[in-house]
Amino acid sequence: MLKFALAGNPNSGKTTLFNTLTGSTTHVGNWPGVTVDKREGVYKKCAKPVSIVDLPGIYSLSPYTPEEVISRNFILNEKPNCVINIVDATNLERNLYLTTQLMEIDVPVVVALNMMDQVKKNDEKINSQKLEEKLGIPVIEISALKSKGIDLLMKRAYQASKSDRKGSTIFKSSSLGHLINDVKIALTETSKVSNVLFHAIKLIEMDPLEVADHGDLVKIIDKFKTTFSDSTFGSDFEAFVADSRYKYISKNFSPVLTRPASHKIENLTKSDKVDRVLTHRIWGIPIFLVILFAIFHLTFSEDFLYLGAMGVLSEDFITLEGSFYEGMFGEGSIFSPGVILFNFLDISMTGLSDLVASAMEGAVADWAAGFIVDGILGGLFAVLSFLPQILVLFLFFSILEDSGYMARIAFILDRIFRKFGLSGRAFMPMIMGFGCSIPAMINTRTLADDNERSATIRVIPFFSCGAKLPILTAIAGGIVMVFKIGSAEIITYSMYLLGIATAIVSVLFLRNTTLKGEVPPFIMELPSYHSPQFKSLMLHLWDKAKHFVKKAFTIILASTIVIWVISHFSWGWEFLPNELIDQSILAGIGQLLRPLFTPLGFGSQLNSWGWVFVVAAVTGLIAKENVIATFGTLAACITAGFAPNEALEGIDSVVEMIAATGITVPALISFIAFNMTTIPCFAAVATAKAELKDQKRFNATLMFWLLSSYIVGTIVYVIGTWWWSLFIIIAITVLAVLTIIFLNKKEYTFKKKKAQYGAF
Amino acid sequence: MGLFEIALIVVCTLIVVGVVGAAIRRKVKGKGSGFCSSCYECCNDCPFNAYKADKKDNK
């Protein structure tokens, strides 16, 4: 099968083009570095099927970053039949730098001038025909986002793939041309190497990979270089070659771009103007916090825009008393869109449970009815009822991402994280952690420093993922319903901030103790703001919904079956009715582990049903949704005076648990904090193991997660129960920080002296 | 025990065995279906080797 590679600068639209060509729904983000590994798909509209490989975004073919190494090795070693070079037409000069390097390889290259719609919108013009003549390779105007020009691009790429193209360079007639020819001759005489032109130029640049491969030629090349002198760059040939490329591009290629007469370089674009506010030194972070709160308000609030609290609405406003929709849209207030959708699904699922329960009554054995209604439906619906709120929350996150604001968040938070030992580059995977820890951990491959990477992987689970949302929402809802304090959106929002704060403290601790290292500089191109694409948003949501439902009907379903079985059988393998499940295997395990959780508030201090919180936390290690599924499965069994065969979903199951166990608010918050910061799901643990590679680091990571969740949970419970303990905890923290600073200073002085006086 | 109850036990056993079996299969053999992390970041280095099995073609 023919193989075409997509190569281009970060955020130039490679993944969008890849999705358009292959029909995939791979995640596309409006920030650089979304793709960290190559992906493959098939394009079938050419005469023969073509395998399309999406390479990570790169600025050059020099091995500065892991992405550049991946892309370079693929093009040189796997020899694709054609390279489609995606060029961001709104940033022509910078993007053509990579094009001039790709042209030096013996492979057919086709340039796809992407974002042409944006160029036209800016009243600019690019003479693609003239550019094609100057480059000597096909240039096709496209818009990957709007699927324009794609067929022509593939047609030209297919034609080009039939040719046997030899590399060409823009330095042919420059002062470097002679030197390149000399190195080419030396290369061909000493070894049988393909892509001679590319390797020759890279050897002149003293590219570390080339020097390692052709070390024997270094002396000869140095000799050639003595005949060549440059007053500006001296012997720094890498800088000289780069400068020559840019000068050539500026002189020969830039004239193909025509800007409107009114355009001035110093004019600020719309994006620049918006950035002046959103990335402001002082206001940037407060604005981010307000935006985040607004999202939580729209998703979780039971008092939309606080109209109820302000007394704008009457008590019976849209209660729809007596109807099927009673209490769905509001009670004395209007519910937020997330809550309305949640209520709709909750009412539908309760109706379905009741229907199944009444159909089974008397027709099947009591245990079977209980198993289906309480166990399976209770567990499944407890989780599924949160799907609307998850989708609403991720719709807003996707809008932030697609619009380009997420990239700004990394830029804003870089200032904070840098002080604690991580670069903004490490923050990109952390933001991805809000969606799912797994891609976030994979994305840490962009970090060159192993210690920084390990620290990032360890704190990623603290950025609450979608699977943890049911825990947050159900318990926050339970607290509001039972204790009548706070509001669901403030509790959920605070827990997200607690996760970020825990990550910051952990990074500070790790980067000053076991995972020390320099903070690399963070340079990131901020993409232009653009309106989110409806199709792209829907694809994100579809992926999320599909994943959630698939997980519910596989892992969660299997878990609820197992939980129900081991909660209804004794150690002697005798069946137990609902009233006796505290003698079950599950209860036995919970009782055994219970004392361990006493410092966190949900251990021995709870009454006899307290073990349920312990087993829920343990089942959450398989998948976080299991925590609420466990409540759903067991709620009907342990509720005093429960109506038989009535499944309790989501928040209701938590309300029953609170009533049955006597758990306090601080203990409930501690329970959320523990689940947010403890060992993530099996899938994320497997990814961490694969990414960390080193077994010792992996074991240390597991220990770190266990310890941090235990400490965070304990702190939350202790402060919540005895407020004055806050001062003791602050004192201990200050003492710990001072100790770390003192020890590090001592070590630094020792190293400085060692460097000054040599080995002692 | 009636037919319904027996069928219920059989189906549930199959579900549990299927899910656990698929997970083991993925881990051991590196292919199969049913336990993909579904992280939407399909790449050649998928920790569950799910990518190669599930990768999509265009229409």
Give the residue from chain A lying closest to B55, CA to CA.
A41
- Residue A113 above 90 pLDDT? yes
| Residue reference for tokens 């030629």 | A217
Contact B41 A438 (CB under 8 A): yes
Least confident of A304-318, A618-632, A732-746: A304-318
Contact A558 B39 (CB under 8 A): no
The pLDDT value given to residue A367 = 85
The pLDDT value given to residue A712 = 94
Bridging pattern class, strands A2-8 and A50-54: parallel
3-state SS, residue A633: helix
From first CA to last CA, the distance across chain A in angstroms is: 63
Interface membership of B1 toward A (CB under 8 Å):
yes
From first CA to last CA, the distance across chain B in angstroms is: 49
- Residue A612 above 80 pLDDT? yes
CA of B37, closest CA in chain A: separation in Å? Answer: 6
Most confident of A32-36, A323-327, A393-397, A682-686: A393-397
- Residue A760 above 50 pLDDT? no
Interface membership of A436 toward B (CB under 8 Å):
yes
Structure tokens at A668: 């409930």
Q: What is the pLDDT of residues B10-42, one digit of tens each?
A: 999 999 998 888 777 766 665 444 345 555 555
CA of A219, closest CA in chain B: separation in Å? Answer: 39
- Chain B contact set for A550 (CB, 8 A): 38
- Residue A634 above 90 pLDDT? no
Interface membership of B10 toward A (CB under 8 Å):
no
3-state SS, residue A630: helix
Interface membership of A178 toward B (CB under 8 Å):
no
Q: What is the pLDDT of residues A406-439, one digit of tens each?
A: 888 878 877 777 777 777 778 778 877 887 888 7
- Residue A315 above 70 pLDDT? no
- Chain A contact set for B22 (CB, 8 A): 554
Interface membership of B31 toward A (CB under 8 Å):
no
DSSP per-residue codes, A135-183: HTS-EEE-BTTTTBSHHHHHHHHHHHHTS-PPP--TTTTSTHHHHHHHH
Contact A41 B55 (CB under 8 A): yes
3-state SS, residue A743: helix
| Mean of per-residue pLDDT scores for chain A | 84
Contact B42 A550 (CB under 8 A): no
CA of B41, closest CA in chain A: separation in Å? Answer: 6
Nearest to A416 by CA among A286, A514, A272: A286
Confidence of residue A699 (pLDDT cuts 50, 70, 90): very high
What whole-number percentage of chain A has pLDDT above 70? 91
Best residue of A377, A687, A689, A691 to probe chain B, by most B CBs closer than 10 Å: A687
User: Greater confidence, A189 or B45?
Assistant: A189
The pLDDT value given to residue A705 = 95
| Residue reference for tokens 């190494």 | A69
**What's the DSSP call for residue A186?**
H
The pLDDT value given to residue B39 = 58
Mean pLDDT of A236-261: 83
> Which helix (DSSP H) or strand (DSSP E) does residue A82 occupy?
strand A82-88
Interface membership of A133 toward B (CB under 8 Å):
no
The pLDDT value given to residue A696 = 92
Out of A45, A443, A558, closest to residue B19 by CB: A558
- Residue A484 above 70 pLDDT? yes
The pLDDT value given to residue A759 = 47
Contact A200, A177 (CB under 8 A): no
Q: What is the pLDDT of residues A266-301, one digit of tens each?
A: 567 778 888 889 988 888 889 999 998 999 899 888
Interface membership of A48 toward B (CB under 8 Å):
no
Give the separation between CA A275 and CA A288, rounded to whole angstroms.
12
Task: Name the phi and psi angles at A51, rounded to 5.
Answer: -85, 125
CA of A428, closest CA in chain B: separation in Å? Answer: 15
- Chain A contact set for B39 (CB, 8 A): 436, 438-439, 442, 683
Out of B41, B44, B48, closest to residue A439 by CB: B41
Give the residue from chain B lying closest to A371, CA to CA.
B8
Out of B4, B8, B19, closest to residue A554 by CB: B19
- Residue A70 above 60 pLDDT? yes
Give the residue from chain A lying closest to B34, CA to CA.
A554
The pLDDT value given to residue B59 = 33
Instruction: State the ipTM, two decimals.
Output: 0.77
- Residue A474 above 80 pLDDT? yes
Cα A382 off chain centre by: 26
Interface membership of A41 toward B (CB under 8 Å):
yes
- Which homologous superfamily does the CATH classification assign to the domain defined by A2-161? P-loop containing nucleotide triphosphate hydrolases (3.40.50.300)
Structure tokens at A269: 């674009």
Give the residue from chain B lying closest to A689, CA to CA.
B47
Contact A39 B43 (CB under 8 A): yes
- Residue A702 above 90 pLDDT? yes
Listed in sequence order, the residues at least 6 apart from A179 whose beta carbon sits closer than 8 Å to its beta carbon are A204, A224, A225, A227, A228
The pLDDT value given to residue A643 = 45
Interface membership of A555 toward B (CB under 8 Å):
yes
Predicted TM-score of the model (pTM):
0.76
Contact A364 B58 (CB under 8 A): no
- Residue A335 above 90 pLDDT? no
Best residue of B37, B54, B55 to probe chain A, by most A CBs closer than 10 Å: B37
The pLDDT value given to residue A640 = 43
Least confident of A67-76, A220-229, A391-400: A220-229
Q: Give the burial class of A390: count Cβ atoms within 10 A of its Cβ; 0-12 exposed, 13-18 middle, 19 or more buried.
A: buried
CA of B10, closest CA in chain A: separation in Å? Answer: 12
Q: Which long-range contacts (CB under 8 A, 24 or more apart) does A274-282 make?
A: A274/A529, A275/A408, A275/A526, A278/A405, A278/A408, A279/A408, A279/A411, A279/A412, A279/A526
- Chain B contact set for A557 (CB, 8 A): 15, 19
Confidence of residue A758 (pLDDT cuts 50, 70, 90): low
CA of B54, closest CA in chain A: separation in Å? Answer: 11
Interface membership of B45 toward A (CB under 8 Å):
yes
Write out A371-435 in H/E/C secondary structure.
HHHHHHHHHHHHHHCCHHHHHHHHHHHHHHHHHCHHHHHHHHHHHHHHHHCCCHHHHHHHHHCCC
Out of A23, A438, A687, closest to residue B58 by CB: A23
Task: Name the phi and psi angles at A3, rounded to 5.
Answer: -125, 120
Interface membership of A66 toward B (CB under 8 Å):
no
Mean pLDDT of A551-558: 88
Give the residue from chain B lying closest to A51, CA to CA.
B57
Confidence of residue B54 (pLDDT cuts 50, 70, 90): very low
CATH class of A176-258: mainly alpha
Which positions 670-699 of A are in contact with B (Cβ < 8 Å)? 683-684, 686-687, 689-691
- Residue A42 above 90 pLDDT? no
Least confident of A131-145, A499-513, A638-652, A713-727: A638-652
3-state SS, residue A604: coil
Q: What is the pLDDT of residues A220-233, one digit of tens each?
A: 888 887 777 666 66
Cβ pairs bridging A and B (under 8 Å): 110
Best residue of A51, A554, A565, A687 to probe chain B, by most B CBs closer than 10 Å: A554
Interface membership of A538 toward B (CB under 8 Å):
no
Which positions 225-254 of A are in contact with B (Cβ < 8 Å)? none
Contact B44 A44 (CB under 8 A): no
3-state SS, residue A536: helix
Best residue of A26, A31, A685 to probe chain B, by most B CBs closer than 10 Å: A26
- Residue A495 above 90 pLDDT? yes
Amino acid identity for residue A260 in this structure: P
Contact A686 B47 (CB under 8 A): yes
Confidence of residue A153 (pLDDT cuts 50, 70, 90): very high
Confidence of residue A641 (pLDDT cuts 50, 70, 90): very low
Out of A26, A36, A41, closest to residue B58 by CB: A41
